[in-house]
Structure 1
Amino acid sequence: MDACGERFVIVSGDSRAEVDEVGGGLAGFVQGGRVRVEPHSPTARPAKGSGAVLAPWPNRVRGGRWSLRGARQQLALTEPGAGNAIHGLLRHVPWTLVDRAGDRLVLAAVAAAQPGWPQPVRIRITYTVGAGGLGVETEVENLGSAPVPFGLGFHPYLRVGDVPADDLELTLAARTRLPLRDQLPDGPPEPLERPFAGTPLAGLELDDAFGGCVPVEGDGLVRHRVVAPDGGGTELWAEPAFGWVQVFTPADFPRHGPDGALAGARAVAVEPMTCPPDALNSGTDLIELIPGEAQVLHWGITATG
């Protein structure tokens, strides 16, 4: 079996998305003849979190330790070099195929009760493609007997076809930046001195958490985008529940060139999150899941320009 299990493909018109069985994450998206999300091979573990579903918390938990109603919790240290727990519990488990059509795919998984995580949570994701691009609906439900905090994130790397990342401009809906030290919070959010509004990515090295993401247009959606010199762009939209975004610009993302050879290239991850890093300790913007009550959240990606 490939490292990512089965590779599911959904298509409608000029929109095509690929999704991995293992991890349930997005493995590529094309719209309008241009790649919009970095693809990755089904034969290797996705590099640098590519396409991952981040649940039941996104980003890091300091030392893997947190407390729930006075009871200390200790998660497995899945970022062993730094001694933290990172990106939830479902990145490397097979997801169950619930439903599949030409333009629609539904997968589900359960973050089981385990050391450091006291209540089972079911996550059900519906991926849909169409004229408006890619839509992602996530339904989460606490299957346990007591409330549990929850956070959700996703880890797509955005592209505008073959345009190099350094030639793109970045716009974020964020109004604040969270100071980080060793990728963990180091103080309260600070207002952005300059907003990201058509900011060139050339020369920027980011692995930063931004907050205050609010709608600026009348449709009530948070919008982040990258735009190429020709005016074409790729936009990530999300409901206001995704009030945070992590932006990561590694210089060594593995990408196949025109000759098929694999080489490191600059890439830009735009990661919508419902809460900031280490939210299980700070409590900031956590969603409380009540047993038996479902929460539904939406985001997506579409071509612009």
Structure 2
Amino acid sequence: MRDVSLNSNRPLATAAAPNELAWLDDPAIAPTLVMLQAGSLRAVLAPAVGGALAAFYEVTPEGPLHWLRPATSAAFTERDPLRMASFPLFPYCNRIRDARFEFDGVAIDLAGNDTRFAHALHGNAWRHPWRVGARTESSVDLHFEHEPDSRIPGDWPFRYRAQQRIALSGGALVITLSAQNVDDRPMPFGMGHHPYYPRTAATRVHADVRAMWHADADVLPTHLGPHRAVDALREGMSPDAFELDNNFANWSREATIAWPDEHRQLTMTADAPFDHMVVYAPADDPQLCVEPVTNTTDCFNAVGPREQVGGCVLQAGEELAATVKWTPQRG
């Protein structure tokens, strides 16, 4: 993480053009999607691609106004949630150092679960299709059930069920995440969602946070402490102010992504235990993520008070549920 100039010459992404939803009319893709609508709001789900959200936008006379960065066509052909609008994180968020940790006196080895990454990343639910359950015009339930397979290198060794209830309600996108430990032993656990936002030169991120987890070259936490980004977020931080891929602990569980030149903003609110927030704003890159999560990176190995590290242990049969809401506002 390093400071970068506010006057960076890198090309900045603008709100997506209407033709970036061309995949809605693709006969190979459209049948796999779930479209939700309420008034002028639309949410498109891609259950087959990690239970991901493909788009969240508003229908306007000028075309779709995107509140999250929409999926690319390649996201579908390559089944890549990283190029979706957002995707669920189960049973932990972000990285686990060297894909290993110890729990209850047993060494857990996740190495090999994804050879693209040196460290285990984002759990396993985003790598599998989700099943469509109950559905209305404005809501849908998506389900995922994990059964460990010892033949698969790095497979998560605990049985669990996860669900997303996704709804357009009250002028907002509302996602309730839940998980149940269906194993016969305790299971370490964390969850979250990974939204990408349109990033322009005028974008600002507002959030009340207490401290930042500083990170090493592998984007793994070293210590919790002050940073100028903490004050910048409270005042309205430009994604170009710092190069960030960091966790922020003990935020107020509310953040606003604003586009003041476009006279609009999107406010994200979250329930406990989403007590941690990740900001991913790389330099020379159009991506911007502000993620609600229950745990800091590498929480199963991290040392520190629970309120700083996050995550939890689900006992056999125990269930955890919490809601995140994104509310658009124009004018």
CA contact (8 A) 1:58 1:275 kept: yes
Alignment partner of 1:43 out of 77, 86, 103: 77
Shift of 1:82: 4.9
**Higher strand content, 1 or 2:** 1
Structure 2: which amino acid aligns with 1:211? A
- Aligned counterparts, 1:1-305, within 5 A: 6-22=32-48, 23-31=50-58, 33=60, 34-40=65-71, 41=73, 42-46=76-80, 48=82, 50=84, 51-78=86-113, 80=115, 82-114=117-149, 115=154, 117-159=156-198, 164-193=199-228, 194-196=231-233, 197-214=235-252, 222-230=253-261, 231-250=263-282, 266-282=286-302, 284-305=309-330
Quote the offset at 1:107 in angstroms.
0.6
Task: Check the 8 A contact 1:135/1:300 in 2, yes or no.
Answer: yes
Structure richer in helix, relative to its length:
2
What are structure 2's unaligned runs of at least 5 residues? 1-26, 304-308
TM-score, structure 2 as length reference: 0.78
Q: CA deviation at 1:185?
A: 3.4
CA shift for structure 1 position 248 = 1.5
How far apart in 1 are the matches of 2:201 and 2:97?
32
Q: Given that residues 36 and 139 in structure 2 are in contact (C-alpha distance below 8 angstroms), is that contact kept between their aligned partners in structure 1? A: yes
Structure 1: gaps (5+ residues): 215-221, 253-264
| TM-score relative to the length of structure 1 | 0.84
The SS at the match of 1:139 is: strand
Q: Note the C-alpha offset of 1:173.
A: 2.9
Q: In the alignment, is the contact (CA less than 8 A) between 1:36 and 1:158 conserved in 2? A: yes
Q: CA RMSD in A?
A: 2.4
Q: State the SS of the aligned residue for 2:301.
A: helix
Q: Is the 8 A contact 1:175 1:192 kept in 2?
A: no
1:3 shift after superposition: 8.0
Give me the identity figure in percent: 24
Deviation by residue 1:141-170 (Cα, 9 ceiling, x = unmatched): 0001011110002111123xxxx5221111
How many residues are matched?
282
Q: Deviations over 1:99-142 (max 9, x none)?
A: 11100010110132245533211001100002331000112100
Contact 1:173 1:223 in 2 (8 A): yes
Question: CA offsets, 1:23-79, max 9 Å, x none?
Answer: 011111014742111111333433636412111011001111011111111013445
Once residues 90 and 56 of structure 1 are traced to their aligned partners in structure 2, the CA distance between those partners, rounded to angstroms, is 7
